[in-house]
Amino acid sequence: MAVDNTRKFIPLGMAVLTVSDTRTENDDKSGQLLVKRLETAGHRLIEKQIVPDDKFHIRAVISKWCINNDIQVILTTGGTGVTGRDGTPEAVQVLLDKVIEGFGETFRAISYQQIGTSTMQSRAIAGVANGRYIFCIPGSSGACATAWDELICHQLDYRTRPCNLVELMPRLLEE
Per-residue model confidence as pLDDT tens digits over 65-105 = 999 999 999 999 999 989 888 999 999 999 999 999 999 99
73 strand-pairing partners:
14, 133
pLDDT at 81: 86
Return d(Cα 8, Cα 140) in angstroms, integer: 32
pLDDT digits (tens, 9 = 90+) for 37-67: 999 999 999 999 999 999 999 999 999 999 9
The continuous run of DSSP H or E covering 60 comes out as helix 55-65
Domain that holds residue 157: 9-168
Q: Residue 133: give its domain's CATH number.
A: 3.40.980.10
Mean pLDDT of 32-40: 98
Q: List C-alpha distances in Å: 118 to 70, 71, 81, 106.
A: 36, 33, 11, 15
The answer to whether residue 78 sits within a structural domain is yes
Please tell me the predicted confidence (pLDDT) of residue 166. 98
Per-residue model confidence (pLDDT) at position 1: 80
What pLDDT, on a 0 to 100 scale, did the predictor assign at position 175? 80
In a domain, 174, yes or no: no
DSSP three-state, residue 118: helix
Largest CA distance in the chain: 48
Pair 151, 138: CB distance under 8 Å: no
175 found inside a domain: no
Beta-bridge partners for 136: 76, 125
In a domain, 1, yes or no: no
Mean pLDDT taken over the chain: 96
Q: Is residue 3 part of a domain?
A: no
| Residue 76 near residue 135 (C-beta atoms within 8 A) | yes
For residue 128, being part of any structural domain is answered with: yes
Per the structure, how many domains does the chain have? 1
